[in-house]
Amino acid sequence: MNSELEGYQDQLLTIRQDAPGLLARLSDEQTNWRPAPNRWSIAECFGHLNVSAKQFMPMFDAAILGARARGLSSNGPFSYSLFERFFVQVVEPPPRFRIRTPAAFEPVRQMKGADVLQEFLGWQDQFAARLGQASGIDLKRARTRSPFVWWLRYSLGTGFAAFLAHERRHLWQAREVRNLVDSR
């Protein structure tokens, strides 16, 4: 596995270690509490990440299979375009601006904290598997598309980085809500 994929694995490990603490010792009522009508609860932040992961995984699968079929192999290092680096930075927390979530990515309301966390951790396992499957693939030349914006295409490496940045963004959001829950 190349150093870029190892870096993604490290980021994933940090996310996996951080996530349970955001829901620890909270009732389902607290987990589903919204700080304002137009803001998500902790459970909705996790629910959105679960819905998003369900959309991302087939995109990653297609990119990995396509790259293998085309013989796109390399162990890097990879250098990404200014646009791709900017794209990932925009997704990182804290949010610089809010982006309206497409209806297909809206979370379900009123979820059990344990259930939403278990599903989230399952998606983390699936993402880790994709990182393993991408070993040896040219992460710059292999292409994937955004599940959010159908016409947006970028490198598989950027897709992996954006996926992780998106998770950090919504875990940051959940942490902000958790701080409010704890102070109530």
SS3 of residue 150 by DSSP: coil
Burial 44-66 (b: 16+ CB within 10 A, else e): bbbbbbbbbbeebbebbeebbee
Q: What CATH code is carried by the domain that includes residue 149?
A: 1.20.120.450
CA distance 92 to 164: 9
Domain of residue 132 covers 3-183
Instruction: Please check whether residue 15 is in contact with residue 120, taking contact to mean a CB–CB distance below 8 angstroms.
Output: no
Q: What is the pLDDT along the chain (184 residues), one digit of tens a residue?
A: 899 999 999 999 999 999 999 999 999 999 999 999 989 999 999 999 999 999 999 999 999 999 999 999 999 899 999 999 999 999 999 988 787 787 777 787 888 999 999 999 999 999 999 999 999 999 999 999 988 888 889 999 999 999 999 999 999 999 999 999 988 7
The pTM of the full predicted model, rounded to 2 decimals, is 0.94
Instruction: Please check whether residue 5 is in contact with residue 135, taking contact to mean a CB–CB distance below 8 angstroms.
Output: yes
Burial 111-122 (b: 16+ CB within 10 A, else e): bebeebbebbee
What contacts 157, CB < 8 A, 6 or more positions away?
Answer: 4, 78, 80, 139, 140, 142
Tell me the C-alpha to C-alpha distance, in Å, between residue 62 and each of 68, 131, 181: 10, 13, 40
Domain count, the chain: 1
